[in-house]
Amino acid sequence: MRIALFDAKPYDRPGFEKYGSEKGLSITFYETKLNEDTVGLARGFDGVCVFVNDTVNAAVIDKLHEYGVGFVALRCAGYNNVDVEHAFGKIHVFRVPAYSPYAVAEHAMAMLLTSVRRVHKAYNRTREFNFSLSGLTGFDLHGKTVGVVGTGKIGRVFIDICRGFGMEVLAYDKFPANDSGLNYVPLEELMERSDVISFHCPLTEETRHMVNRESIARMKKGVVLINTSRGELIDAEALLEGIKERKVGAACLDVYEEESDVFFQDFSGHIVDDDTLARLISMPNVLVTSHQAFLTEEALKSIADTTVNNIIEFTEHGTSENELCYRCGNIEDCKQKRRQRCF
Ligand code: NAI
């Protein structure tokens, strides 16, 4: 079984080399991302392994199919970068539905605490022996209201952490877990009442730009926004305006709309072309991390382990329990539910 692993980073290798060789996979690591220009590199492989910023659109799928590549193994949970509908009948797609919800939820809280207690500023000051406290006044999280959008695996862990801080939690989910005891409210109400809003829902047509000029106008003055989900949930231009108008108190962004052009790469010493990103980063109340919320040892181990298992399961049984199929949600008698090949 020959796998081409795209967008390979040094931290990907140890796990994939270990689990891959244990299971007899031959993995070739490509630093480049998979897209229409690089898809030729997949020729001769049985499958490709991709991450969040690889492009698996219709054109790429058609080429992979033409080369006889049988599957796309996502080593992440989100799959908005894959045209799953177009893939049906051509190429099988698997994902890693969960690897460590704790990694992402803890990073969201780390960003929130850093931001509201100005730890990033204090760190830089004391390194230069500047022990002044001016401008470092924060606020207690205890007693504040946090709105959590998306109460799946990560959202629920984040809610538990917030409760530990004594915060009141409001929740919104398109598919609420009604037996959870969570205080579900309409999205508009959550936006209006929350001091802090954290996003943990997937990127879909419905959630794209759910933070926009109108929704920001509805929010409390000084609201803190946390996005560890997908960049396109937030209209970055509208966020920038909200910050300039002093409406948004702080933004903690682990993801960004146009991140695929810059994130995961070293641009120090270069001119960054994205003016919106550059302006956001220049703001004292904006904290940007480079899609690193998942990056813990536990998560990396789990990602490599599950991805390799998905491939082995598919090879041996023709399907994987983590296969994505656009039809499964729509038809009653789904083959995958009977543990048979989708096509
Ligand atoms: P999950 O599938 O367990 O939970 C997602 C929740 O969002 C579900 O409860 C679902 O009902 C809800 N949802 C679906 N459509 C919605 C809508 N229109 N409005 C509100 N809620 C909606 O997923 P999980 O594991 O909690 O991950 C959440 C997101 O976090 C992923 O979609 C992914 O984009 C992002 N993520 C980011 C990482 C990072 O490193 N920054 C790492 C892993 C995931």
Considering Cα of 121, then 126, then 132, then 137, what sign does the dihedral take? positive
Reported for 325-331, long-range contacts at CB under 8 A and 24+ positions apart, including other chains, are 325/84, 325/88, 325/93, 326/84, 326/85, 326/88, 327/88
Instruction: Spell out which residues line ligand 1, taking CB within 6 angstroms.
Output: 77-78, 98, 101, 104, 149-155, 172-175, 200-204, 206-207, 228-230, 254-255, 291, 293-294
Shortest-distance Cα residue to atom 36 of ligand 1: 229
Tell me how far CA of residue 251 lies from CA of 108, 239, 248, in angstroms: 11, 8, 7
CA 155 to centroid of ligand 1, rounded, Å: 8
What is d(CA 238, CA 209) in angstroms, rounded to the nearest whole number?
A: 9
Known catalytic residues?
A: 230, 259, 291
Of 200, 233, 259, the residue with max ligand 1 atoms within 8 A of its CB, to mutate for a pocket test, comes to: 200
Amino acid at 11: Y
**Residue 202 Cα: closest atom of ligand 1:** 32
Strand runs (DSSP E) across the chain, as ranges? 2-5, 26-29, 47-50, 71-74, 92-94, 145-149, 168-172, 196-199, 223-227, 248-253, 286-288, 323-324
CA 243 to centroid of ligand 1, rounded, Å: 25
CA 150 to centroid of ligand 1, rounded, Å: 6
CA 151 to centroid of ligand 1, rounded, Å: 8
Per-residue model confidence (pLDDT) at position 265 = 86
Considering Cα of 148, then 153, then 156, then 158, what sign does the dihedral take? negative
CA 334 to centroid of ligand 1, rounded, Å: 24
Per-residue model confidence (pLDDT) at position 336 = 67
Q: Tens place of pLDDT for every residue, the chain, 343 residues? A: 999 999 999 999 999 999 999 999 999 999 999 999 999 999 999 999 999 999 999 999 999 999 999 999 999 988 999 999 999 999 999 999 999 999 999 999 999 999 999 999 999 999 999 999 999 999 999 999 999 999 999 999 999 999 999 999 999 999 999 899 999 999 999 999 999 999 999 999 999 999 999 999 999 999 999 999 999 999 999 999 999 999 999 999 999 998 888 888 899 999 999 999 999 999 999 999 999 999 999 999 999 999 999 999 999 988 888 999 877 765 566 776 666 777 8
Cβ proximity of 304 and 100 under 8 Å = no
Shortest-distance Cα residue to atom 9 of ligand 1: 152
pLDDT in tens, 303-314: 999 999 999 999
Per-residue model confidence (pLDDT) at position 314 = 92
Per-residue model confidence (pLDDT) at position 332 = 63
Shortest-distance Cα residue to atom 4 of ligand 1: 152
**Residue 295 Cα: closest atom of ligand 1:** 40
**Residue 294 Cα: closest atom of ligand 1:** 40
pLDDT in tens, 100-144: 999 999 999 999 999 999 999 999 999 999 999 999 999 999 999
Q: Look up residue 44 and give its two tokens.
A: 């001769």
**Residue 152 Cα: closest atom of ligand 1:** 4
